[in-house]
Amino acid sequence: MTTYGSFPGTRPRRLRSNPVMRRMVAETRLHPADLILPAFVREGIGEPVPITAMPGVVQHTRDSLKKAAAEAVAAGVSGIMLFGVPEESKKDALGTPGTDPDGILQVALRDVRAEVGDDLLVMSDLCLDETTDHGHCGVLDERGRVDNDATLERYAEMAQVQADAGAHVVGPSGMMDGQIGVVRDALDQIGREDVAILAYTVKYASAFYGPFREAVGSSLQGDRKTYQQDPANVRESLRELALDLEEGADMVMVKPAGPYLDILARVADAVDVPVAAYQISGEYSMIEAAAEKGWIDRDRAIMEALTGIRRAGARNILTYWATEVAQKLKDQ
């Protein structure tokens, strides 16, 4: 006798039965266009310099940066976020290389725009930490504290020189109060309403930035806890989000990504502008280090981490694996 309605009646495993089925019902997909490549360019070097704490990532020469940009275009990556590393002797208290039209970041912006034109969104980190001799993201007052409003004046000038150098998008990352409004006004004053702002809206004072310090040759002593956000807080991030949108941000970002997926989801649910997340140096280095020791499957871990960020609500992801992953996605 045939028995119907046997337990269990519902079998979700049917939708996991083979690779084609799993692909068809996948709720979250990565695409090359989701990805943005952060890249470092260093002044005064003749060949790329490997970053010890970030295996596979280098400080580029101007020529190798142009090659990396072209490779990103070929892979279908949407953007490249540039960080300039000036010669140590050129750093000063005001971060002068950041506003010098011939500073390394501005030179690199012109190089990359000449190489790829509009085929890749050329983005610029708008911050002073790489260019100051004290390593902070702003100008210091007589007591050694970061002076918010004096820093905003520097950011306004930086925005203008970066736009003149060819940036499609500027990324104010210093977490100064009012920075988005000041940058928007500065750009509009020179007729650059076309330059978009990717606001580093949620940027936590994180231990996971460690490898980045080597990447940009940071001179920082102390910490950035008076301007970057407290990892314990959520409402503070949503307040920053409201302010950045009011001041004219075109896109917003959460940084770091992996340890703050709950924040990313809250931000993505709250806004109608594109949301990005930055998978930072420490997130990258942990996976690379564990894979080097044979503790995890490198490729699977990379894709799982990026999928988690995308699933949490990031429209775009800044990741040092951008070109590699984009190429793999194209080849699937």
Flag whether 185 is in a domain: yes
- Of residues 90, 203, 225, 293, which has the active-site annotation? 203
pLDDT for 136 equals 82
Known active-site residue 293: no
Question: For residues 183 and 163, is the Cβ–Cβ distance under 8 A?
Answer: no
Site of tokens 């502008």: 273
With respect to residue 14, please indicate whether it lies within any of the assigned structural domains: no
Closest CA to 161 of 105, 87, 95, 83: 105
List, as residue ranges, the binding site for 5-aminolevulinate.
Answer: 213, 224, 281, 320
Q: Which residues are annotated as a binding site for Mg(2+)?
A: 240
Nearest CA to 310 out of 9, 2, 117, 31 is that of 31
Residue from 66, 67, 90, 255 carrying the catalytic annotation = 255
In 3D space, the residue among 209, 212, 211, 219 whose CA is nearest the CA of residue 87 turns out to be: 219
Domain CATH code at residue 122: 3.20.20.70
**How many whole angstroms separate alpha carbon 201 and alpha carbon 251?**
9
300 domain-assigned: yes
203 is catalytic: yes
Q: Does residue 275 lie within any of the structural domains?
A: yes
Whether residue 1 is contained in a domain is answered as no
304 is a domain residue: yes
Residue 86 phi/psi, 5-degree rounding, is: -75, 165
Q: How far apart are CA 213 and CA 209, in angstroms?
A: 7
Give me the average pLDDT of each 10-residue run along the chain (332 residues). Answer: 68 91 93 97 95 94 98 98 93 92 97 97 93 84 90 96 98 92 98 97 90 69 78 94 97 96 97 97 96 97 98 98 96 81
Number of domains in the chain: 1
**Predicted pLDDT at 10:** 86
Where do runs of H (alpha helix) occur along 201-316? 210-215, 235-247, 261-270, 281-292, 298-312
- Residue-range definition of the domain harbouring residue 122: 33-331
DSSP assignment string, 156-198: HHHHHHHHHHT-SEEEE-S--TTHHHHHHHHHHHTT-TTSEEE
Which pLDDT does position 7 carry in this prediction?
Answer: 73
Residue 27 lies in a domain: no
Distance CA 93, CA 146 (A): 11
Backbone angles phi, psi at 23, to 5 degrees: -65, -40
pLDDT score of 1: 53
**What residue numbers does the annotated binding site cover?**
213, 224, 240, 281, 320
pLDDT of the residue at 220? 62
